[in-house]
Structure 1
């Protein structure tokens, strides 16, 4: 087993099971994977999963993506059994869950003028809530959760490209996100830290118009008492997590840092963390300032 965190092309078949909320972007994920040489099957009956992996084991298919959803009422009992059979047979697979908040899903269904597959005689929200309840156990097991609430199809496709390029998956990829607590917690964060202990540049008139990406605010934030110790300690605390992810064959984590509005403190600290974590051997870092620019 390799001890290198670099993305490498695996010698054996990769199996990626893709599921998530209807309207959250499963089809976009499938198309992006196909663009990079994956063989993707949508809405495959779960009991056929083992047959498909047999083809891969015979050398016929090397990168398999299977999109599963709730259009069949027997989806969950059969899927649970099918995944159990894969595990029992020693087949390694990864689970990718695509999610979005209820408002975004309603908006997308209304734009497409489509009913939700589970709404029946009820409303769109009734269908969404029923699906979310059914999918929650899978979401909890997923290795990668992508929240597409604020992503369009182009940014989602780019993210899939970064995760699953033609050279194979990135073994450990860190998505560093700044956010504002007043806009809500990020739904797909694996780790959340609160940097509101830092003095707020918002109350300094000459700093208020600037952001944490600009040197006056960055110097103010990073120079505040306790910030250097926090950043250095947080990087050291994440190193064994990264190693643990590698041992457990996990490939992705979102680390979110929040301040009040997501403009000053969290932005500056995320930029600094990205710089330092980017120097950890073979770790890939991406920065996302979720609320920067919002009023």
Structure 2
């Protein structure tokens, strides 16, 4: 008789946390990484998903205080059973955020908190935090999104939960506005505010660095070409050394005042340079969208 084929064990990731902390964003990013994701699945039916024969060996299950049958102590007991009795590898991810930032996000998006329909949103956040405290202590991975943008959270999820270690270094080129702070995950930051600002040019204010007229205006700046070439040379020298040191992720960030013109154009142009040099950069533009609207649970995005 031949040997039985080796079966790859099912990977289970439970994703939970505070409403507004970014669970929906995390689940969408996990889908992009190859996980099959299910959100707000009834707790009592989890046994039908976990430990069953399935072609989907990477399964991310999202739940929170809105999920039917949600009792934190029951979830913890069930996970203990799967891990200890059935030897199923399960990881629990908890997404947290400070109360003040959560309140700001809810107020900005004008959404009611599930636990505070007729009360101030702060009351619902406090009740939810008390309810979820056991799960927060139990979780294997804790991510605090207080100072995160959507792109910051996506990058963190990629670093933590990609299905396999990347074969080559992952390079991200991003743009941002200093008016909303420096990206906390940036490794290299270049300030492009020394360039003339298209914001003050008639006809360019409503456009972005993705539009040709803005790029043409920036290119006409006397110092753009020389400064861009110096940054290009620096990056092409540094990136191979980062790879030699085993660094899996490098985030190169370009900033300007609002994050819509100079930084966007420079990031796009530099990303093309890196592609020509053999890298495969991901390009992210932080301030071309709304941070709070994207992070609050349930908001849909194209």
Match for residue 228 of structure 1?
229
Query: Aligned ranges for residues 54-203 of structure 1 at < 5 Å?
Result: 54-55=51-52, 61-69=56-64, 72=71, 74=73, 78=76, 91=89, 101-102=101-102, 103-108=104-109, 110-112=110-112, 114-115=114-115, 123-124=123-124, 126=126, 138-139=142-143, 147-148=149-150, 171=166, 174-186=171-183, 189-191=184-186, 193-196=188-191, 199-202=194-197
Match for residue 8 of structure 1?
none
Q: Is the 8 A contact 1:69 1:75 kept in 2?
A: no
Q: Is the 8 A contact 1:278 1:284 kept in 2?
A: yes
Q: In the superposition, relative to structure 1, how do residues 225 and 281 fare at CA in structure 2: closer, same or farther (>3 Å)?
A: closer
Q: In the superposition, relative to structure 1, how do residues 68 and 182 fare at CA in structure 2: closer, same or farther (>3 Å)?
A: same
Q: SS of the counterpart of 2:38?
A: strand
- Does residue 38 of the first structure (1) align with residue 36 of the second (2)? yes
Q: In the superposition, relative to structure 1, how do residues 32 and 269 fare at CA in structure 2: closer, same or farther (>3 Å)?
A: closer
Cα offset, 1:60, TM superposition: 5.8
Q: Is the 8 A contact 2:174 2:284 kept in 1?
A: yes
Q: Which structure: larger Rg?
A: 2
Note the residue ranges of structure 1 that are not aligned, 5 or more in a row. Answer: 1-10, 150-155, 247-251
Match for residue 7 of structure 1?
none
Match for residue 216 of structure 1?
217
User: Normalising by the residue count of structure 2, what TM-score does the alignment of the two structures yield?
Assistant: 0.53
What's the Cα RMSD here?
5.7
Instruction: Give deviations 1:213-250, integer Å, cap 9, x for gaps.
Output: 4122045387354432223323543455567465xxxx
Note the residue ranges of structure 2 that are not aligned, 5 or more in a row. Answer: 1-7, 291-302
User: Normalising by the residue count of structure 1, what TM-score does the alignment of the two structures yield?
Assistant: 0.54
Question: Following the alignment from structure 1 to structure 2, what is the Cα–Cα distance between the partners of residues 27 and 255?
Answer: 26
Cα offset, 1:130, TM superposition: 7.1
Alignment size in residue pairs: 247
